[in-house]
Amino acid sequence: MPPKVQFYFNSTLPHFTQLISGIEILNQQGEIDLEYSLETRNYPVNICRVVYEGKVLIFDLADTSVIREKFYNECDFYIKRMLLRKDFKERNKLIPYGLNYIVFYENIFMRNLIFNKKYFKYGIRYHQKISEILNIKISIYTSHLKNLQAQPIENYNLIFRTRLWNPDNNLNISKKKERKKMNQERIKINQLLTRKFGDSFQGGIEKDEYSTKESPDLLLSGEQYHKKNYLKLLKNSAIGIVSPGLEDSISWKFGEYVAHGLAVITTPVDDYLFRGEFREGENYLVYSELSELVEKIESLHRNDSYLRKIQKNNVEYYKNWLEPSAKIRSIFMEIKAS
């Protein structure tokens, strides 16, 4: 008999789409016996409870590395997205979740949430036709699993499309400073790579009231920034650039790049644990300064075989560790073996 799994739905955050897709694929393949329920307990929106063979699992997919003690103490295993290596060494219930990104898969339970007043808008995201008619950016229409994976392309195109975060939307002074710094870095990356690499660089910043003031020369319209257009450009790129996300988190772009077989150049990520073997120099390169970013790009342009090797490595990593069902299968196997 396949292992019994209960999934308790409580959050409409896109953070959980990969987890939901992976667990549903395993169910449809007969690898688990899955039951969905609406969560009755009061959990934060970045926390999700799953019960695997009687063991309580807490999936913490928050942008921050903070471990929520209350939920850590009440579970058997705590699966953490932004898991610091130092925390992993000090605690025995932690499991790394690793890279995350938005990805949808057919799911009757989620689709039927349109009949629930509280979750109606979320249920629409799982309706192919309705989400297409409404042109919903984050939905099964744009982000079905089949659209979120590709074999690597052998060119030298770069991609870094992003958005800015208005610091005034956060009352915390340190958070304001963090967002200002993050915004300036994203603007500078776009300006620099546009100058250096011209048409081979697919960049730009989503247009809104704040970005119009801060980066008027880099703006992308809603149509240009739409997920469908972005994925077309992603499939025609060989190198993806990553800068830090909110709370100094690892950007979801990282996962999208790997799923499409891109070589990745990122700011340092060695404080965090990934799933499986995912190494600097093998799956990604690291930069700390903008001049170093340009050097790393040019080094890949000069060394074609190395660029293609990294791309190939990321295709393999995706297949074994990042593809939704592969990720959740590996987590369940780790729990079963413990």
Segment 286-305 shows an average pLDDT of: 97
Summary mean pLDDT of the chain: 96
- Check: CB of residue 102 under 8 Å from CB of residue 139: no
Bigger pLDDT: 174 vs 312: 312
Those residues with Cβ within 8 angstroms of residue 28's Cβ, 6 or more apart along the chain or in another chain? none
Comparing 9-18, 166-175, 181-190, 237-246, the range with the smallest average pLDDT is: 166-175
Quick count: other Cβ atoms within 10 Å of Cβ 185?
A: 15
In this prediction, residue 245 carries a pLDDT of 85
Comparing 92-96, 152-156, 243-247, the range with the smallest average pLDDT is: 243-247
- Check: CB of residue 127 under 8 Å from CB of residue 208: no
In this prediction, residue 150 carries a pLDDT of 96
CA neighbor of 241 nearest in space, from 276, 279, 194, 176? 194
Distances (CA, A) of 269 to 35, 255, 274, 297: 36, 13, 10, 18
| Terminal C-alpha separation, the chain | 20
Residue 169 pLDDT class (50, 70, 90 cuts): confident
Comparing 23-37, 105-119, 142-156, 221-235, the range with the smallest average pLDDT is: 221-235
Those residues with Cβ within 8 angstroms of residue 170's Cβ, 6 or more apart along the chain or in another chain? 176, 179
Going from N- to C-terminal start, the domains of the chain cover 4-147+324-337, 158-321
What tens digit of pLDDT does each residue of 56-65 get? 999 999 999 9
Q: Could you tell me the fold of the domain covering 158-321?
A: Rossmann fold (3.40.50)
What tens digit of pLDDT does each residue of 224-276 get? 889 999 999 999 999 999 998 887 889 999 999 999 999 999 999 999 999 99
In this prediction, residue 18 carries a pLDDT of 98
Segment 27-46 shows an average pLDDT of: 95
For residue 223, pLDDT over 90 is answered with: no
Segment 159-166 shows an average pLDDT of: 94
User: How far apart are alpha carbons 280 and 30 in whole angstroms?
Assistant: 36
In this prediction, residue 171 carries a pLDDT of 78
Q: Is the pTM of this model over 0.85?
A: yes
Give me the numbers of helices (H) and strands (E) for the chain, helices first please: 15, 12
Segment 32-51 shows an average pLDDT of: 95
For residue 25, pLDDT over 90 is answered with: yes
**Planar angle of CA 37, 41, 46, nearest 5 degrees:** 85
Of all residues in the chain, what percent carry a pLDDT higher than 90?
Answer: 91
Residue type, 168: D
User: How far apart are alpha carbons 81 and 98 in whole angstroms?
Assistant: 5
The interaxial angle of helices 17-28 and 324-337, nearest 10 deg, is 80
- Check: CB of residue 271 under 8 Å from CB of residue 84: yes
